Structure 1
Amino acid sequence: MIKENNEKYPYTILFIEDEEIILNNYTTYLKKIFSNVLTARDGEEALKLYNKEKPEIIIADIHIPKINGLTLLEMIREKDLDVKLIVLTGHVTTKFLLQATSLKLINYLQKPISRLKLKESLNKAIEEISNYKLVKIQNIELKNGYSWDIRNKILKRKEELIELTKKETLLLELLFSSVEKVFSYDEILYQVWNDFDDEGNINSLKNLVRRLRLKLPEETLENVFKEGYRIKIK
């Protein structure tokens, strides 16, 4: 599942770890796989980042300051059944296993972390995200009879097919992968142009959005000032 051709997944992952060496080493590794890697060193900082960014995957150490890892993930899981959770722990106890069961973890990894085990866990998370998108939801209904077909990457108004360019399709594919989430300019530039911040591509992105808005219901494609774009369906 993890791509070998340097192509990154357009998902956001939050890595929570208070040990600086581990944090730095694995952040470097994760940035080779995902287009948006967030880091936090304590539970409070992590919760703020989660609420703002809504990551698809979270990796959390249990023993972190302010809010411990399991308590933090319990708080998140209460309102988010879809986020994929991986826990890091120095040792496994019966109490930990009982508490972790309700979290529906992808996996728990014992320190020192095995790179192979982490890769296997990330592959499982990516597979579950992909299956959710392709199987659980087939169409996203928009206002005024519009809909987005996730499997076939097709935009329709009632039964009428709306013609899209390749870049329009790539942008909508990214935005519809997590409705209401704000995708950063860098995420979008990487997905559509396979590049990061570039003045020429920023201008091209603005033109692309302008054209797409003419093909979508009013106020569906929203610009969040200085952050990025998102799809709104309500």
Structure 2
Amino acid sequence: MENIIKQLQNYTVLCVEDEDGIRKRLVNTLKYYFRGVYEAKNGEDGYYLYNEYKPDLIITDIEMPNKSGISLVEDIRKKDMDTLVIMVTAYSNEEYLLELINLNINQYILKPVNSDSLLTGIIKAFGKRLKEIITFHKDLYFDMEQRELFYKEQLIPLRKRDKEFLLLLHRNRNVVVTYDLIEEYLWRDKSMSITALKTFIKEFRKRIPIEIITNKPQEGYKLINS
């Protein structure tokens, strides 16, 4: 979850809500997650800000003066079907919500909105745009869905045992991964010799483009800076 939330820092959001108190609370929460947060008190102002900043996500109330949230999204969808939209509504009636299906709404959040329902709605709206990743270095990450390692967006070919070792290191990132633990998880029911381990580590280090592990003599291995 931490990595997924961290990825939101790459995106911007527009919050459109006519009630000042509610909008202020939403914006303050959104600033914690997003790189840029814009706010509007009605659909008319919201449409202007949308054209000005082209946010990645729009969170809008439905009932507002000077242009409703529905009218706002209708205008946006005339030329843009890609920007993510979350509708905040007091209505839970399925028939009412189905009327909006052609507007390609990505998610609905029912009022009253709290921090948990807001974050859940945002993550659901982004869907697969947010990857479950493990970051080992600012340029080196493991994509859990693809089960692949990437360095500067380039795929790093790894064997199954290499991937298992990376995940083992991550799960134990605050402690030393002992030789016994490595034998148990990587060799399983087979016996691991010191020679076999040294060969594996040597080849592992060759495959990884940067140094991410350090050896603790007589103990095992640990992620660097972990």
TM-score range, shorter chain: 0.5 to 0.7
Mark the CA change 1:18 to 1:90 in structure 2 (over 3 Å): closer, same or farther: same
DSSP-derived class of the 1:32 partner: helix
Residues 86 and 108 in structure 1, CA contact (< 8 A), matched pair in contact too: yes
What is aligned with 1:124?
Answer: 124
Contact 2:13 2:55 in 1 (8 A): yes
Deviation readout 1:48-78 (Å, 9 max, x if unpaired): 0001111110000001111111111111122
TM-score (norm 2): 0.53
- TM (norm. structure 1) is 0.51
What corresponds to 2:103 in structure 1?
Answer: 103
Q: Could you tell me which amino acid in structure 2 is paired with residue 47 of structure 1?
A: Y
Pick closer, same or farther for the CA change 1:116–1:95 going to 2, 3 Å.
same
Write the distance in 1 (CA, Å) between the matches of 2:84 and 2:6. Answer: 23
Structure-to-structure mapping, 1:1-234, within 5 angstroms: 1=1, 3=3, 9-93=9-93, 96-130=96-130, 153=153
- 2:5, 2:33 within 8 Å by CA — same for their partners in 1? no
Structure 1 residues 97 and 129: alpha-carbon distance in aligned structure 2, compared to 1, 3 A threshold: same
Unaligned ranges ≥5, structure 1 = 132-150, 155-234
Q: How far 1:29 sits from its partner (Å)? A: 0.4
SS in 1 for 2:14: strand
Cα drift, residue 152 of structure 1: 5.1
Q: Which amino acid aligns with 1:67?
A: K
In structure 2, give the amino acid aligned to 1:78. K
Q: Offset of 1:9 from its aligned partner?
A: 1.1
- Runs of 4+ aligned residues of structure 1 deviating over 4 Å after TM superposition are 1-8, 151-154
Distance 2:55 2:80 in 1: 11
Whether contact under 8 Å (1:18, 1:41) holds in the other structure is yes
Q: Does structure 2 retain, via aligned residues, the 8 Å contact 1:55–1:83?
A: yes
In the alignment of these two chains, the number of paired residues is: 136
Residue segments in structure 2 that go unaligned for 5+ positions in a row: 132-150, 155-226
The whole-number CA distance in structure 2 between the counterparts of 1:24 and 1:40 is 10
**Matched-pair identity in %:** 33
